[in-house]
Structure 1
Amino acid sequence: MDAAGCVFEFVVFSPAPGAPVDETLHRQALAGMGCFLAASRENRQAAQTGHYLPEVYDPQADSDWQVHKASATALSPAQRRNLTLSEDYANDLLALYAPFSNPPYGTRFKDGEAQSRATFQEWLDVLGLQDRDNVVVLDWVNGYTFNWIGTTESPLPEWEPWSEYFEDGLEWWGIWCLTVWNPERNTLSVLVASATD
């Protein structure tokens, strides 16, 4: 995905057996994503091998990733299904294939659209994002839109996102932050994206 120019980052966790999978656990997975992003800035290869989680999580360690300020919105079955489609999807903010295949600088899949669709389906499989009733998807940036106030010379954002990570995407392309619980696989995944040109 990186080589093709996709801008999504993701991590996949396996919760401890018997752990209650509630919003608190989803939020902890978000915190893990913050650790991954911080480690990626330092050494992307080390972060991708999984060596980024601290032994004890300190929410103050990365003051830019303020998960305690994030608010979750559970997606409906129709919204979850739309996320999994690579064609004939409803072209709204929750159509995941379009931003996957068309980030600000485009993608460069060697075999074109066919490889893009195949990679997208493989990615969904890794995330555990399937069109099943028991899959739970929470959107952590629901309703955030680009809305500048002020003058053309000195625009100011009307609100502050819970992480500076999302500021670039709010310029025009968009932002993503979803957690995905798949009980059959015992995976809790986080995907994020924020990009601009």
Structure 2
Amino acid sequence: MGLKDHLSTSGIKDSKGYEALRTRLDDLGCSVEFLVMDVASHVSVDETLHRRILSELYDRIIDDQRKWHRKVFEALPPANYSEPTMLWNVVRASGHALSSDAIFSFHQTESLSDARPSLYEDFCNSLYLGKQRIERAEIQSLFSDWLDGLGIRDQSGIVVLDWTDAFELPASNDTAFGFSTTWTGFFCRGSLHQHGRCLTIWNPVCRTLAALAICSPIHE
């Protein structure tokens, strides 16, 4: 039995509540990418499975981008438009477990003193409201529902791995120095006005494994 058989969308991805949440986020132009899957009761969740759901998240992102590409292609004059591609090398990714305090801080909806934007700020900055006017309380309620759907709840035992950090490549024959890059092109590397975040979340009570990726603008 392969890893694919350990992850199921029967109780999550296809549920009315899950799709309703996605619809609410889409209506607000939310650019957050996320995926939630059930884990079979006999399966022990380890880093390998966390990496697997990262791969599943990539499949979803590329699938959405290809759907968008087809719509654009149909609206434009005939031409050779390139298919969407994105660096997503999970083998080179490095995840580290977050502390319980760090996980608890995800629920904060007030500005933190930390220089790094909070998860709530990343969430808000990923919304493209246009001319829509929405009350802060409604955004907070949606954020709370989103956290709940991801399995980030006020309970013990939750495991969150942060995959955002860059890795260092060795120096090549053509250069006298090494350079750092990320394992994926999703994080808008090189932009001083964007913030990236990628997490996987294991909730042992709900037996759900989730992944999220955000690249949001920083409003100064």
Fold shared by both chains (TM-score > 0.5): yes
- Equivalent position to 2:140, from 103, 109, 117: 117
Aligned to 2:97: 74
Residues 108 and 11 of structure 1: is their aligned pair in 2 closer, same or farther, counting only changes over 3 Å? Answer: farther
> What secondary structure, in the 3-state scheme, does the structure 2 residue paired with 1:180 have?
strand
Structure 1 residues 106 and 90: CA distance shift in structure 2, 3 A: farther
Whether 1:37 and 2:61 are equivalent positions in the alignment is: yes
TM-score (norm 1): 0.74
CA deviation map 1:130-178 (0-9, x unaligned) = 132211100001368xxxxxxxxxxxxx522101111258442210100
The residue matched to 1:65 in structure 2 has which SS? coil
Task: Provide structure 2 residue ranges, at least 5 long, that are not aligned to the other structure.
Answer: 1-24, 69-84, 168-178
Q: Aligned match of 2:187 in 166, 180, 189?
A: 166
Corresponding residue number in structure 1 for 2:28: 4
Asked whether the 8 Å contact 1:70–1:162 carries over to 2, the reply is yes
Q: Residues 92-134 of structure 1: CA distance to partner in whole angstroms, max 9, x if unpaired?
A: 4362111111248667764320111000001001101113221
Identity among equivalent positions (%) equals: 32
Unaligned residue ranges in structure 1 (runs of 5+): 45-61, 145-157
SS of alignment partner, residue 160 of structure 2: strand
TM-score, normalising length from structure 2? 0.67
Any residues of structure 2 matched to 1:16-165 within 5 Å, and which? Answer: 16-43=40-67, 64-87=87-110, 89=112, 91-93=114-116, 95-103=118-126, 110-142=133-165, 158-165=179-186
* Matching residue of 2:200: 179
Separation in 2, partners of 1:107, 1:24? 40
CA contact (8 A) 2:125 2:216 kept: no
What letter corresponds to residue 97 of structure 1 in structure 2? Y
How far, CA to CA, are the matches of 1:170 and 1:139 in structure 2? 20
RMSD (CA atoms):
2.8
How many residues matched? 168
Work out whether residues 161 and 167 of structure 1, in 8 Å CA contact, stay in contact via their aligned partners in 2: no
Question: Who wins on radius of gyration, i.e. which is larger?
Answer: 2
Q: Is residue 30–residue 128 contact of structure 2 (8 Å, CA) maintained in 1? A: no
Residue pair 1:11, 1:33 contacting (<8 A) in 2 also: yes
Distance 2:87 2:40 in 1: 27
Distance across 2 between alignment mates of 1:77 and 1:140: 17
Distance 1:21 1:101 in 2: 31
CA distance in 2, matches of 1:110, 1:141: 32
Determine the C-alpha separation between the residues in 1 that align with 2:60 and 2:204. Answer: 23
For the 8 Å contact 1:175–1:192, the answer to whether it is kept is: yes
